[in-house]
Structure 1
């Protein structure tokens, strides 16, 4: 059943070595394997992330992946300490303070990986 399946999110990367370093060194994830096509696999929660070699321009301008965390400000600080640069927004519908946007019953912060994929950290508020 799909509701019980482990999910692997596939992200396009143009430089596998650079992307692999970002996901291990900056995000702290553990590489679990390498596919015959060069895809690098990383453990993430109950699923996985696959970094698949693709031509430049395959990255989405929208959020491709979001990590749910329990303490968003602490995670933002920890990733900043590893060199991750967060995006800031100030538009009619979205404003960040300290890189974090309040969105109803959750808050979120966005950053790009080394390949330009938009990633997000989000926290559900009680």
Structure 2
């Protein structure tokens, strides 16, 4: 029944124009379409959308993950565009200069978008 299905993240935005600028200018996403109630983007081979909401609660967890071949290179590129990365120090997870070693040769980093959504950048060995 779900053969051929794809997934995409749907992120809340209190200010659609601000969020659209953030994703196109800072993240480098391509805006694909804007309809009443949603704006659709692509980044790499993935797609996601934002929708307007007055609710400012973002849940405090990663809401979208971007799997990349080189986490540190992506972090450097996004930083050059003005993206600020989070620093974490939890048992079993510590970032150094915004990047955490997640074992097995993998690494991860997280940033908040203009709306407070937490976006992860992860390099996983496959």
**TM-score of the alignment, normalized to the shorter chain, above 0.5:** yes
Q: Is the 8 A contact 2:108 2:123 kept in 1?
A: yes
Q: Secondary structure at the match of 1:2?
A: coil
Map of 2:99 onto structure 1: 100
Runs of at least 5 residues in structure 1 that lack an aligned partner in the other structure: none
TM-score of the aligned structures, taking structure 2 as reference length: 0.91
> In the comparison of the two structures, how many residue pairs are matched?
125
Q: Is the 8 A contact 1:11 1:51 kept in 2?
A: yes
Q: Is the 8 A contact 1:86 1:112 kept in 2?
A: yes
Runs of at least 5 residues in structure 2 that lack an aligned partner in the other structure: none
Q: Is the 8 A contact 2:61 2:118 kept in 1?
A: yes
Q: 1:56-106: CA deviations, max 9, x gaps?
A: 324221000010011111100000000000001122221111211111232
Post-superposition offset of 1:3: 4.3
Give the strand-richer structure, 1 or 2.
2
Distance 1:96 1:88 in 2: 6
Map of 1:110 onto structure 2: 110
**Are 1:79 and 2:78 counterparts?**
yes
The structure-2 alpha-carbon separation of the partners of 1:61 and 1:18, relative to structure 1 and needing over 3 Å to count, comes to same
Map of 1:16 onto structure 2: 16
TM-score of the aligned structures, taking structure 1 as reference length: 0.91
Structure 1 outlier segments of 4+, above 4 Å: none
Q: Is the 8 A contact 2:28 2:43 kept in 1?
A: no
